[in-house]
Amino acid sequence: MNANQTDPFGRRVDYLRISVTDRCNERCLYCLPENYQDWLPRHEILTYDELLAIVRATTALGFKRFRVTGGEPLVRPGVVEFIRDLIATEGVESVQLTTNGTRLPELAKPLYEAGLRRINISLDALDPAIYRSITSGEVGPVLAGIREVKTLGFDSVKLNTVLMRGRNDGEIFRLLDFAAEHDVAIRFIELMPVSLTEMLSEENFFPVTELLALLRREDAPEPLNESFGYGPARYFRLPKRGVKVGLIGALSDLHFCERCNKMRLTCDGKLRPCLGNHLETDLKPALRPCLNASHLRQLITGTLGQKPLEHLFRNNYQPDRVMTAIGG
């Protein structure tokens, strides 16, 4: 494999999502089962040095873009320093963070000072009671965190909303207004079968195709060719509201996997070529007891070579790990 390597289907894969922890300070109902206790023991979690060794191995293979996620990445001590080191790593062109935003009021400034400029913040509702019923947390600190990152001048701030019929579909237009008011893009994500809960059902699934039809009744969504992230969202501009909307339709978009450019690293060192597939490679044998760089590269190229053409979400997929353990 060389620095311009593609997967077996010709897709250029240069994007790694790094889960730094499986822990979260919230229990989103689509993400974690109730009373979830099955956290990994601390020694199973890769150290930051091990994560950076993997990053160096991937940049040597042409990876350029990295996202820090979890679990909730901002609950892991030392994550700001890790992000600073990740940004400074040779070959790393873009570093982004996905967070539930609850710790942004205190961490936005240190993250900015560490060099972070791109951030996605999960916001499933504005109404405090609806937000609490979905995430078990409080929306106030998240909204304060969004204002803080805007004040600091992050280059890219996007909101992520997981659509759930009967839960937060009544919040869609308020969320669009909020995004317009704060001059941030908002992405609506279809619920995916990636948690061990029974959350995804015919009743609560809200396809992004339906959302687009709804938006067409209110506005005249203009498709945007430019890509704001490096992910699978299709973007539109709503001229009346003056807001950019991304639609992530893993189930309803039949072309979803055609643009897939990423692999995922779980916090315990498993490299996954696809979110909707059980395939994973344990990278730990190349990291412990000590780093074996060529073995590590071999394991990464081997995993890329297994990247499937499509996810299995439409085939009654049963996840073997909760989303916090895979990293969203």
Choose one: 97-105, 212-220, 256-264, 306-314; the region binding ligand SAM (CB under 6 A): 97-105
Amino acid in position 170:
G
On whether the CB atoms of residues 160 and 153 are closer than 8 A, the answer is: no
Q: At closest approach, how far in Å is the CB of 248 from ligand SAM?
A: 8
Choose one: 53-61, 150-158, 186-194, 289-297; the region binding ligand SAM (CB under 6 A): 186-194
Residues 58, 160, 168, 303: which binds ligand SAM (CB under 6 A)?
Answer: 160
For the chain, the first-to-last Cα distance in angstroms comes to 27
**Contact pattern for ligand SAM over residues 236 through 275, marking x by CB under 6 A:** ----------------------------------------
Residues 162, 287, 300, 304: which binds ligand SAM (CB under 6 A)?
Answer: 162
Q: Which of 188, 190, 186 is nearest to 206 (CA)?
A: 190
**Which CB sits closer to ligand SAM, 50 or 72?**
72
**Which CB sits closer to ligand SAM, 191 or 265?**
191
> How many angstroms separate the CA atoms of 125 and 137, rounded?
11
**Contact pattern for ligand SAM over residues 42 through 81, marking x by CB under 6 A:** ---------------------------xx-x---------
Place of tokens 């499933």: 124
Q: At closest approach, how far in Å is the CB of 37 from ligand SAM?
A: 18
Residues 52, 53, 68, 191: which binds ligand SAM (CB under 6 A)?
Answer: 191
Classify 95 as helix, strand or coil.
strand
* Interaction of residue 149 with ligand SAM, rule CB under 6 A: no
**Which CB sits closer to ligand SAM, 269 or 319?**
319
> How many angstroms separate the CA atoms of 188 and 205, rounded?
12
> How many angstroms separate the CA atoms of 74 and 122, rounded?
13
* Interaction of residue 24 with ligand SAM, rule CB under 6 A: yes
What tokens were used for 22?
A: 């499986």
What tokens were used for 145?
A: 């965190």
Burial of 240 (0-12, 13-18, 19+ CB in 10 A): exposed
Angle between helical axes of 172-182 and 208-218 (0-180°, round to 10): 70
- Interface with ligand SAM (CB under 6 A): 24, 30-31, 69-70, 72, 98-100, 122, 160, 162, 189, 191-192, 194-195, 323-324, 328
